Amino acid sequence: MATLAQALEISNVAVRQHLNALEQSGLVIARLVRRPVGRPARLYQLTEKAEASFPQSNDLVALDLLGRLEKLMGQEALEQLFQARMKELFKSYKERLKDAQTLAEKVRILAQIREEEGYLAEAVAADPAQVKDGVKLIEHHCPVAAIAKRHPMVCQYEKELFKRVLGAPDLKRTEHIRYGGKACIYEVPVGTKEPKS
């Protein structure tokens, strides 16, 4: 709340009033998130109704181009395209992660990168009952959701990219926007042994 208030240069009360109005209009939903210390925080997320308010022409163009590529050159061409993109992202991410000392630190940097790319990402400690000494990468938004619906391999490549760039073969996706989840959540056991490079 304070971050929004500061960014918009309005009071916390004004932010709360705007969020309440957006929630009543069905444009955002809120959920309580427990924190290690203090009261639970309310985390807000856009609904599908709100997503439809934003221009979607980029998705239409991308879907059209991918469809044409598949029609002209086949499914293999699409796979090659997505593999090439994954390789480029791997190089870029690996460079940004090179100074990280721990796997948990790598996840935090990866969350920052994904945040910059529009995924509303964060790294949080995993529930010890679920993942001992683990960390979660949570993406609250998916800028490529329309593409992923038509070409699910995008999600497979994303998961593989995260495993490779983090050196975490035990990484698991426990929630998925594509299947109705509120976020894409990846759990990374910190005890994972990183392969030697």
Alpha carbons within 13 angstroms on the beta-carbon side of residue 51 total: 13
DSSP 8-state class, residue 178: G
What stretch of H or E contains 173? strand 172-175
Query: Rounded to whole angstroms, how far apart are CA atoms 196 and 161?
Result: 17
Query: Residues 86-141: pLDDT tens digits?
Result: 999 999 999 999 999 999 899 999 999 999 998 989 999 876 655 556 899 999 99
* Distant-in-sequence, close-in-space partners of 149: CB < 8 Å, separation ≥ 6: 178
Query: pTM, whole model, 2 decimals?
Result: 0.66
Two structure tokens written together for 10: 């309005």
Residues of the chain with pLDDT under 70: 1, 52-59, 127-133, 191-197
